[in-house]
Amino acid sequence: MVACCGLMMAGGLTSCSSGGDAPSETCQAVADIVSIVDQIESTVRTKSDIPTLKTQLSQISTDLDYLKAHPQDAYSSELAAAEQAAVPLKADLQAVQANPSSATYKAARSSASAFKDALDALTTAANTTC
């Protein structure tokens, strides 16, 4: 029996049920993304925040890789959009590290916001499979 996961998006909480079964890998990947996504936008404040954000992006990347390896029509377009939104964020983070200024931080926060929006859409769509 496939485990069912329900995500409470507003609070980022997960709950899984199915007679004590562990959540499916898809549900777990979605839950992992949800647990990190709300932190992303607020992380880009100072240069010292960049390592934390890179760690968060690495964790999300692992979950996105899983979802990409196990594609489902329910979230394929949202997955592609999230991957596209990650590209400018990575470039903006490099710019912040190379030249920390109000302009580079503003660009990074904007990219982080767009990435967060893309991840929100992905987790909502992928949650329909849980």
Task: List, for residues 43-66, the tens digit of each pLDDT value.
Answer: 777 778 878 888 888 888 888 888
Question: What residues are paired with 96 via a beta bridge?
Answer: none
pLDDT digits (tens, 9 = 90+) for 72-112: 888 899 999 999 999 998 899 889 889 989 999 899 889 98
Domain ranges of the chain: 24-127
Each residue of 8-40: pLDDT tens digit?
Answer: 333 333 334 443 333 588 888 888 888 887 777
Residue with tokens 């979802």: 67
Quote the CA–CA distance of 80 and 76 in Å, as a whole number. Answer: 6
To the nearest 10 degrees (0 to 180), the angle between helices 102-127 and 25-43 is 160
- Average pLDDT for the chain: 77
pLDDT value for 97: 86
Name the CATH topology of 24-127: Four Helix Bundle (Hemerythrin (Met), subunit A) (1.20.120)
